[in-house]
Structure 1
Amino acid sequence: MESGTEVTCQYAGMEQTATYITERDGMAVIKLNSGYNIGVDPACLTVVAAPEMTETVGMTIEQNPSLPQLSIISTGGTIASRVDYRTGAVTSQFTADDIMRAIPGLADIARFRSEVLASILSENMTPAIWQTLATSICNEIKNGAEGVIVTHGTDTLAYSAAAVSFMLDTPAPVIFVGSQRSADRPSSDNVMNGLASAAAATSDLGEVAVVMHASTNDDTCAIHRGTRVRKMHTSRRDAFQSLGTAPIGSVAYPSLDVTLSKDAVRRRPDTEPVLSPKLEEKVGLSTFYPGMHPDLIHAFEGYRGLVVSGTGLGHTSAPVIEALRSLTDAGTVVAMTSQCLNGRVCDRVYDTGRDLLAAGVLEGDEMLPEVAYVKLMWVLGQTNDTEEAARLMTTPLRGEFGRCL
């Protein structure tokens, strides 16, 4: 039997429709409509239809020259993936033709060119790749792209969006998009997210944003500012949420109508992108917890920067305060954020907060801990002066404080 053949079989007392993958150890490996692979007796399979997908593999997609020019930069992830029926694996697609085959309807929105920047699990993302990514996006815009889509694994997508937000002052939409569920699952969000990202990339937006499902329904994608978004669930399709502020827009589905809020930065068609990609990698991020030993803070001695995720208004224990004081005395820039995620750090209310200020710790305002982390990397990449670094960290630059730009 050929891989990709649609079959039926009796399983768990019910008739199941599935896709034949291969035969192994005398058992037929099939993929159920739920997305799970199981092994069954080959004799129980009934052929329903021969595979159809082989006809389009490698086929060039005709692009309409009258449509806007977009660029797709791939870093990995499952947003543009398809099933390899020889193995049952989900494989990522990288070329423009691959992605347009994987997400039908893209060719009706724009013309596409593509670049494979990386093919990694998103937990393997690095500051060096962020720098290369920001540079590639800048070059694409300078070379005529009216918008850029970055496909990315979801686990560290928000870090990357924030990093690019600081490194690149963009006059055109830069849209980060991912998929919570792979293309072989009936509940996959890759097609809707992909189409919505293309619609957002051709809109009047002029900043870095993340486009993902707004709810568990297939009716709207939210447009989140790149410095105010966080992955809030391991697997839900609406895992990405704007914190401390509303999304800056939405994309209706299936109409793909884009609505932008009054706070969204608008496109500046006659402006060149400004790239400032230098990052300081000796920056740390630490979460305070009750009983935390000061030695964990002393481990950051020699670092140029440290972001602390404190409790409540931005607090730590007294022993940790003294450890932080030793860092600031040695020239390390230390910024305080809150584990609460919503609300502003204010170290002037309680004695603990005032002690932190006296120890030279900066208030991180409403910045999310991971956003403060990448901002501090960027700030220390721009200046060696600790006073200037402190000024930049306490100044809103890309909407990271949750207030209007």
Structure 2
Amino acid sequence: MSYTGYKGKSLDFLKKNKVDVGNQVRVHSDLTYLGILMPRYEYSDDSHIVLKLKNGYNVGLEIDKIKKIELESLPVTKKENMPKPKTDSALPKILLISTGGTIASKIDYRTGAVTPALTASELNATVPELSRIANIDTEVLFSEYSENLLPEHWIKIAEKLNSCARSEYRGIIVAHGTDTMQYTAAALAFSLSGFPKPVALVGSQRSSDRPSSDAALNLIAAVRFLVETDVTGVFVVMHNTSSDDEIACHWATRVRKNHTSKRNAFQTIGGSPAFIIQDNRIEKNKLFNLPKVEYSPKIKFDNRVALVKYYPGFEPKIMGYTISSGYKAIIFEGTGLGHVGKIMYDAIEKAKKKGMFVGMTSQCIDGMVSMTVYDSGRDLLNLGVIPLGNMIPETALVKAMWALANSKDSAEMNKIMKENIALEFSD
């Protein structure tokens, strides 16, 4: 028997009552609950069990308050034989690449487990609307929580996309965890500048086993966006409101996750989304104009870059460690218009003498860095700090990693960081 995540008192309780994860059980406590016994996390306490109810929500029940637990049914282990979706030669082809996250997963209501749903058959069963919009091919590139992704993963995604640049696919979806989606989006925008097809990074804020999940709607909207527009380049496609009425298509270098759990957590900083999908309409932002540039992939990153958030009481020794540890660039997240305290000046001077790039963004997130307004800003300019306009700090970090890897010297990196390569600045 499998008691995944259960230990101590809860494990003893389940063994005594001969019920297992995946069993449908009826629990009599203050109320009576019917649901599937779910696994628990490794670090969960040992005083509760978790049921998945028929409505899709999970409920935790305290063992000491359970009067009786009854086994209703065992999980069915027979594998579903899902029919392959019929292809329609009149429809365009879309490639869906999975890197992890919940966007391309499904709930197995027999066992309570959330599992990848990435074969064409499974996608058709989970989101049948897709087969009426496009013929979907799927591929699992890797499966990682997005907080575990490194520049090496960005390279792997970019190389896969590059291999499809001249393919028959109308567009490509990258299913991705939401926590670091903005970093990956920026990395793809810089390394695949001028990419001749549309790319949509899609995620889900709510797990697919929850009634409020945004997974299916985001995925449907992303496929529609790729099929029904003639745009190219990299976008993040997520809910625009907390309800299901609008989906936003954010440009890759101007998007940021600004809420931990809301379905509309992603926002375009310094403007509005490039496109809004509402009902049967896809509306383009009149101010969004992506310049046509020749496709020139440069798929290299150097992670010897530090993103440093300045704060009152910041210890310059931290900068000293960064300088002595072989880092080649520092992106400051400064205060207001782009400032750090005088206590940092000596460390910045040492960094510049070692040939390091030092750039300035603002921790205000929105708005333009302007370092000529106050004496402190002008002092930093004299020390060689480069203002980075209204570039988002995380985008600036990714750009610096990319620029460092694709520059022959510090002068070329300075030049690249000042150029508006992928609409990372608002001119």
TM-score scaled by length of structure 1 = 0.88
Given the superposition, is the C-alpha separation of residues 321 and 93 from structure 1 closer, same or farther in structure 2, using an over 3 Å criterion?
A: farther
- Give the conservation status (yes or no) of the 8 Å contact 1:135–1:275: no
Aligned to 2:43: none
Among 145, 153, 175, which residue is 2:169 paired with?
145
- Give the conservation status (yes or no) of the 8 Å contact 1:205–1:260: no
Mark the runs of 5 or more structure 2 residues left unpaired by the alignment. 1-18, 41-45
SS in 1 for 2:322: coil
In the TM superposition, what is the alpha-carbon distance from 1:236 to its structure 2 partner?
0.5
**Which amino acid in structure 1 is aligned with residue 348 of structure 2?**
L
Aligned to 2:307: 285
Aligned to 1:195: 220
1:222 matched to 2:222: no
Among 103, 111, 115, which residue is 1:91 paired with?
115
Query: Taking every aligned residue pair, what percent have the same amino acid on both sides?
Result: 38
Q: In the aligned structure 2, how far is the partner of 1:2 from the partner of 1:85?
A: 15
1:311 matched to 2:335: yes
- Give the conservation status (yes or no) of the 8 Å contact 1:172–1:267: no
1:170 matched to 2:192: no
Aligned to 2:36: 20
Among 46, 49, 52, which residue is 1:31 paired with?
52
In the TM superposition, what is the alpha-carbon distance from 1:88 to its structure 2 partner?
2.2
In the TM superposition, what is the alpha-carbon distance from 1:109 to its structure 2 partner?
0.9
Q: In the aligned structure 2, how far is the partner of 1:223 from the partner of 1:23?
A: 36
Q: In the aligned structure 2, how far is the partner of 1:375 from the partner of 1:22?
A: 43
* Residues 281-290 or 3-12, more deviating: 3-12
In the TM superposition, what is the alpha-carbon distance from 1:219 to its structure 2 partner?
0.8
- Give the conservation status (yes or no) of the 8 Å contact 1:307–1:335: yes
**Which amino acid in structure 1 is aligned with residue 320 of structure 2?**
H
Aligned to 1:298: 320
- Give the conservation status (yes or no) of the 8 Å contact 1:28–1:42: no
Aligned to 1:274: 296
In the TM superposition, what is the alpha-carbon distance from 1:96 to its structure 2 partner?
3.2
Aligned to 1:242: 268
- Deviations, residues 83-116 of structure 1 (Å, cap 9, x unaligned): 2345423223333333333222111111111221
- Give the conservation status (yes or no) of the 8 Å contact 2:36–2:110: no
- Pairing of 1:104-183 with structure 2 (within 5 A): 104-168=128-192, 169-183=194-208
- Give the conservation status (yes or no) of the 8 Å contact 1:79–1:177: yes
In the TM superposition, what is the alpha-carbon distance from 1:70 to its structure 2 partner?
0.8
Q: In the aligned structure 2, how far is the partner of 1:142 from the partner of 1:198?
A: 19
In the TM superposition, what is the alpha-carbon distance from 1:386 to its structure 2 partner?
1.7
Aligned to 2:6: none
Given the superposition, is the C-alpha separation of residues 258 and 81 from structure 1 closer, same or farther in structure 2, using an over 3 Å criterion?
A: same
**Which amino acid in structure 2 is aligned with residue 200 of structure 1?**
F
Mark the runs of 5 or more structure 1 residues left unpaired by the alignment. none
Q: In the aligned structure 1, how far is the partner of 2:77 from the partner of 2:231?
A: 36
- Deviations, residues 173-214 of structure 1 (Å, cap 9, x unaligned): 110010000011110000100101111121222121101000
- Give the conservation status (yes or no) of the 8 Å contact 2:258–2:267: yes
In the TM superposition, what is the alpha-carbon distance from 1:140 to its structure 2 partner?
1.8
Aligned to 2:105: 81
TM-score scaled by length of structure 2 = 0.84
Aligned to 1:330: 354
Q: In the aligned structure 2, how far is the partner of 1:136 from the partner of 1:272?
A: 19
Aligned residues: 393
